[in-house]
Amino acid sequence: MVQPTALYSPDAILAIEGMDEIERMEGAPNPFWNPTRFEVTWGLVAMTGLTSPPHVQVEPMRRATRDELTLFHDPSYVETLELFGNMGNAFSKRFGPPSPECPVFTIMHEYEAYTVGATIDAVVGVAEGRFKNAFSFFGGFHHALESKAAGFCYLNDCVVSLKVLKQLRPDVRILYLDTDVHHGDGTQAAFYDDPNVLTISIHEKSMGFFPMTGGIEEIGTGPGKGYSVNIPLPPLTDDVEYWRAFEEIVIPLWEAYQPDFVFWEVGADAHMNDPLADLMLTLDTYQRLSRTVREMVHLGKQNLVAVGGGGYDPVTVARVWSLVLADMAGVCLPPTVPLEWAEMCERLGLKVTRVGWTDRPHRIEVENVSKIRNAVDRTIKGLKELVFPIHGLT
């Protein structure tokens, strides 16, 4: 019998009407919290047949309980978010909202609780052997802190689910791999002194770029020193330089650490089409990332859960997540995206310019090559000096 890949359906959150009021209140759609993003990303996997068994098993999202949320989040913060969601206009600046990225809207606490519940179920389902691996598209809220929302993130499903896993398997060694274009600051903070969670974040870093953290010097503290690893990349980094950093840093640390469980925050916002970031990756790198992650997990006999994370061009996000899901499930994609999906995108005001699963190759402009290469060189050299010796690497 084929052991399936679990995939979590957004039907429960699409049935809630709270997101619909954000655009009316704010005057523009929120880049993350808008129904179109959910519909387009889910629509592609459904229309390509990826949601059909036996390789993929669609699971419902469920609301995380308050006991689960308070494994990481402060109880008063959780209660305040519930107040936001019930009142629709309450606010407390010390907790973050309202802000352009984290607006206050009716029943917002239900959306957040569903995303956390789905990620918990993905992690537990894989840990208990019910699924080969799992992908929760609408998880990956890595910026949320213990008592503060930021960057579209109210509750940190990554941290809460890994706390649940650590209760289930106290000796588990976890690799948290974050390829979202933004630094995974909230997840790093939660495990900054924990040597049983190796957090690796490869992200853009430049003046004023959110969240303005994630330098190579942030390596953990106490027993966790050396177990927080940041790979900051300059704007305009392309496939070649990105992959050089990944192979030089991520692969050796992964092999040295030998985790039991891999949690991958994918993100699609390092793609060159993303409107909120400046890295220049193509779909080729996401394909390579997915295949490399799957290969490493297989060789190490490890568990794998992926969450979607960021990405603010819905057409690109849908393609990236579909590529990753197909690879995790061992399913071949059709040669082109379905015509009905392209037509749906057009109806929703989105342009589908390429019907295949590849992009045109992109290289750094000649005048920027040496600057970007030198910046990546400094990052690689610095991490090899700061972190590699702690893991027995030279």
- Which residues have a catalytic role annotated? 183
Q: Is 331 exposed, middle or buried (0-12, 13-18, 19+ CB in 10 A)?
A: middle
Beta carbons within 8 Å of 95's beta carbon, 6+ residues apart: 77, 80, 81, 147, 148, 149
| Other CB atoms within 10 A of residue 172 CB | 17
DSSP sequence for 24-50: HHHSS--SSSSHHHHHHHHHHHHHTTT
DSSP class of residue 134 equals: E
Give the side-chain half-sphere CA count within 13 A for 306: 29
Assigned token pair, 238: 């392309």
In DSSP terms, 136 is beta-bridged to: 307
Mark residue 265 as left, alpha or beta (left: phi above 0; alpha: psi -120 to 50; beta: remaining): beta
Q: Helices 157-168 and 108-127 meet at what angle, rounded to 10?
A: 40
Q: By CB neighbour count within 10 A (0-12 exposed, 13-18 middle, 19+ buried), where does 307 fall? A: buried
Of 257, 198, 255, 209, nearest in space to 232 by CA: 209
Check residue 176 and report its DSSP letter. Answer: E
The partner residues of 57 in beta bridges, in order of sequence, read: 6
Task: Pull the structure tokens for residue 284.
Answer: 């080729």
Cα–chain-centroid distance for residue 101?
16
**DSSP H helices in the chain:** 11-14, 20-26, 35-47, 66-69, 75-87, 108-127, 157-168, 185-190, 239-245, 251-257, 283-299, 314-329, 339-347, 366-386
Task: Return the sign of the alpha-carbon dihedral for residues 9, 61, 327, 198.
Answer: positive
Identify whether the C-beta of residue 288 lies closer than 8 Å to the C-beta of residue 243: yes
